[in-house]
């Protein structure tokens, strides 16, 4: 009889913080730029250069810690993690081992309809390394220190996840929370959020964990799912053959859909950590914590509840409207200005997301103002334009942020409700469609809809539908 196995997963998630300058110097954190153009003696590890801690990094780390129910360490410290690699100019990385800024947190995830708590072991602050650029043609490698010293937080979970679905739900939860806080844009594909997955298997019912491996190089949800499934199968196969799983770091290759050993997994002792003598401990007061807590925006899970109760929006729609803080803010501000939540929501869910997708945008930048958007909704409400025209105007609004009132006036898109003009067109439509007229008179109500449609078409969508209906009735009844 074959044995049943359970997958045990813990995550180490690195998040690049959205500060303007690096963690220990005044260099820009901006992505790109000529090689080594955002550098100075501190972030290139010159002898004698002294780091100075960026206060904003501490505040972002605290904000994330508070939003994930962590305890904030009142006196936290930085440590040196020693290792040699060319992208690490000091030969050590400044990180936190002994007294990380946040500990003992938890977040709630939902998979299907099942809710579950995932523990957060700790969150610590550290600096990013530089980047090696390998030139295939010249047979040389260039080291670029622009990324060296960019602030990171590392969020270490407890081994509480049991499936790829739970891992994705946990990452989504972190991403939404951190994006709402404005602490990072959390883009897996651009490297501002990176996940290392620790995974082991054990027979169902056993208490002790199996030997874990760490999977690196996972830059999409698809890669994470495949890597977890692949590694689970590989470990089970080893155990079934009576072999041991070796504790190691493995690199996932999403093209080959397989992993290979990178190096044996290190423990903290391999890095000879010791307190960084150049940086004083960070003392965090109750007032400071309170200040960060008070400035926390409404987070996504709170918005989801409020949207369902206050606006009576279905859960599925609410989830899309709150996908990014920017979309949620657009929805709320526009609704406030025009007082028609339903229509605002329809435009966002239908038209706007279609256009975002077309332009390959992700909803973190909204290219038009809530004021203009609200004007458009009001014009539909008042019957100045009909919905067909409104959708066309919305598309121009999305592309150029025009003032809908001016645009409609300039392009003569207002609804036509002039009786003489409409009457003339309707007479022509009736003459062209004798069969439909006969059907209607014979009791087929459907035929009226067809005649309305034909009239609207002839008026290029600008006729007032109610007026068309009235006139048709008066002519036919
Ligand atoms: Zn610098």
User: Which CATH number goes with the domain that contains 458?
Assistant: 1.10.10.410
Q: Quick one: average pLDDT of 254-260?
A: 83
Q: Where are the beta strands (DSSP E) in 140-221?
A: 140-144, 151-157, 193-203, 213-218
What's the CA-to-centroid distance between 124 and ligand 1, angstroms?
Answer: 21
Per mean pLDDT, which range of 186-190, 281-285, 378-382 is the poorest?
Answer: 186-190
255: in domain: yes
What's the CA-to-centroid distance between 17 and ligand 1, angstroms?
Answer: 16
Q: Are residues 262 and 331 in the same domain?
A: no
Q: Are residues 428 and 461 in the same domain?
A: yes
Q: Is the pLDDT of residue 140 over 90?
A: no
What's the CA-to-centroid distance between 130 and ligand 1, angstroms?
Answer: 12
The pLDDT confidence band at residue 390, using thresholds 50, 70 and 90, is: very high
Examine the fold and report which residue of 373, 400, 427 is the final residue of a domain before the chain moves on: 400
Q: Quick one: average pLDDT of 18-47?
A: 94
| Averaged pLDDT of the chain | 92
Q: Are residues 175 and 283 in the same domain?
A: yes
Integer Cα distance of 128 and 78 in angstroms: 14
What's the CA-to-centroid distance between 29 and ligand 1, angstroms?
Answer: 9
- pLDDT score for 265: 67
303: in domain: no
Residue 366 lies in domain: 308-400
- pLDDT score for 1: 47
Q: Are residues 380 and 423 in the same domain?
A: no
Q: What pLDDT digit, counting tens, does each position of 87-107 carry?
A: 999 999 999 999 999 999 999
What's the CA-to-centroid distance between 84 and ligand 1, angstroms?
Answer: 20
What's the CA-to-centroid distance between 42 and ligand 1, angstroms?
Answer: 5
Integer Cα distance of 54 and 145 in angstroms: 18
What's the CA-to-centroid distance between 151 and ligand 1, angstroms?
Answer: 12
φ/ψ of 107, rounded to 5, equals -130, 155
Q: Are residues 275 and 356 in the same domain?
A: no
- pLDDT score for 475: 87
Q: Quick one: average pLDDT of 392-406?
A: 94
Q: Quick one: average pLDDT of 224-234?
A: 94
Token pair belonging to 434: 């004798």
Q: Is the pLDDT of residue 263 over 80?
A: no
Burial of residue 251 (CB within 10 Å: 0-12, 13-18, 19+) is middle
**Does an H or E element contain 65, and which?**
helix 55-67
Q: What pLDDT digit, counting tens, does each position of 363-380 carry?
A: 889 999 999 999 999 999
What's the CA-to-centroid distance between 138 and ligand 1, angstroms?
Answer: 28
What's the CA-to-centroid distance between 40 and ligand 1, angstroms?
Answer: 4
Examine the fold and report which residue of 240, 256, 287 is the final residue of a domain before the chain moves on: 287
CA nearest neighbour of 407 among 383, 359, 375: 375
Integer Cα distance of 4 and 105 in angstroms: 31
333: in domain: yes
User: What are 127's strand-pairing partners?
Assistant: 151
What's the CA-to-centroid distance between 195 and ligand 1, angstroms?
Answer: 26
What's the CA-to-centroid distance between 162 and ligand 1, angstroms?
Answer: 41
Between 247 and 31, whose confidence is greater? 247
What's the CA-to-centroid distance between 103 and ligand 1, angstroms?
Answer: 29
82: in domain: yes
What's the CA-to-centroid distance between 279 and ligand 1, angstroms?
Answer: 16
Integer Cα distance of 345 and 336 in angstroms: 12
Integer Cα distance of 22 and 34 in angstroms: 17
Q: Is the pLDDT of residue 269 over 60?
A: yes
Q: Are residues 121 and 222 in the same domain?
A: yes
Examine the fold and report which residue of 287, 320, 340 is the final residue of a domain before the chain moves on: 287
What's the CA-to-centroid distance between 45 and ligand 1, angstroms?
Answer: 9
Q: Are residues 224 and 351 in the same domain?
A: no
The pLDDT confidence band at residue 274, using thresholds 50, 70 and 90, is: very high
Token pair belonging to 303: 């918005």
Q: Are residues 76 and 190 in the same domain?
A: yes
What's the CA-to-centroid distance between 268 and ligand 1, angstroms?
Answer: 27
Q: Are residues 201 and 281 in the same domain?
A: yes
| Contact in structure between 100 and 61 (CB atoms under 8 Å) | no
Q: Are residues 99 and 219 in the same domain?
A: yes
What's the CA-to-centroid distance between 318 and ligand 1, angstroms?
Answer: 43
| DSSP string computed for 286-315 | HHHHHHHHHTPPPPHHHHHHHHHHHS---H
175: in domain: yes
Q: Is the pLDDT of residue 465 over 80?
A: no
Q: Are residues 319 and 279 in the same domain?
A: no
407: in domain: no
By the CB criterion, residues less than 5 angstroms from ion ligand 1 are: 25, 27, 40, 42-43
What's the CA-to-centroid distance between 30 and ligand 1, angstroms?
Answer: 12
The pLDDT confidence band at residue 76, using thresholds 50, 70 and 90, is: very high
- pLDDT score for 444: 86
148: in domain: yes
Q: Are residues 325 and 435 in the same domain?
A: no
406: in domain: no
- pLDDT score for 461: 78
**Count of structural domains within the chain:** 3
């Amino acid at each position: 009889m074959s044995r049943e196995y359970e997958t045990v997963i813990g995550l180490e998630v690195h998040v690049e913080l959205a500060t303007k300058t690096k963690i220990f110097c005044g260099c820009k954190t901006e992505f790109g730029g000529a090689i080594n153009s955002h550098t100075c003696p501190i972030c290139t590890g010159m002898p004698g250069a002294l780091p100075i801690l960026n206060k904003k990094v501490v505040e972002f780390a605290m904000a994330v810690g508070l939003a994930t129910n962590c305890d904030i360490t009142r006196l936290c410290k930085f440590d040196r993690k020693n290792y040699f690699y060319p992208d690490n100019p000091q030969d050590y990385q400044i990180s936190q081992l002994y007294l990380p800024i946040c500990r003992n947190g938890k977040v709630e995830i939902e998979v299907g309809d099942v809710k579950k708590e995932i523990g957060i072991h700790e969150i610590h602050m550290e600096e990013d390394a530089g980047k090696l650029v390998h030139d295939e043609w010249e047979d040389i490698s260039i080291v670029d220190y622009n990324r060296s010293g960019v602030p990171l937080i590392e969020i270490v979970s407890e081994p509480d996840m049991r499936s790829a679905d739970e891992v994705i739900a946990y990452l989504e939860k972190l991403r939404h929370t951190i994006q709402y806080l404005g602490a990072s844009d959390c883009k897996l594909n651009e490297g501002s959020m990176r996940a290392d997955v620790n995974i082991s298997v054990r027979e169902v019912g056993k208490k002790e964990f199996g030997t874990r491996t760490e999977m690196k190089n996972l830059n999409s949800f698809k890669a994470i799912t495949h890597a977890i499934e692949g590694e689970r199968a590989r470990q089970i196969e080893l155990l079934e053959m009576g072999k041991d799983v070796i504790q190691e770091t493995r690199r996932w290759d999403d093209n080959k859909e397989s992993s290979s050993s990178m190096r044996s997994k290190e423990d903290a002792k391999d890095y000879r950590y010791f307190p960084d003598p150049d940086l004083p401990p960070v003392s965090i007061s109750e007032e400071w914590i309170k200040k960060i807590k008070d400035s926390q925006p409404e987070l996504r899970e709170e918005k989801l509840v409020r949207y369902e109760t206050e606006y009576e929006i279905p859960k599925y729609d609410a989830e899309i409207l709150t996908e990014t803080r920017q979309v949620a803010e657009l929805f709320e501000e526009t609704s406030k200005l025009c007082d028609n939540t339903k229509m605002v929501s329809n435009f966002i869910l239908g038209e706007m997301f279609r256009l975002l997708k077309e332009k390959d945008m992700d909803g973190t930048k909204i290219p038009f103002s809530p004021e203009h958007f609200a004007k458009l909704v009001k014009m539909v409400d008042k019957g100045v334009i009909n919905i067909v025209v409104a959708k066309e105007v919305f598309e121009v609004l999305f592309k150029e942020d025009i003032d809908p009132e001016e645009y409609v006036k300039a392009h003569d898109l207002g609804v036509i409700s002039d009786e003489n003009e409409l009457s003339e067109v309707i007479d022509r439509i009736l003459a062209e469609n004798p069969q439909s007229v006969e059907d209607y008179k014979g009791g087929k109500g459907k035929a009226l809809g067809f005649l309305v449609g034909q009239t609207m078409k002839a008026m290029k969508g600008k006729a007032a539908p109610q007026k068309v209906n009235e006139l048709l009735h008066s002519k036919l009844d």
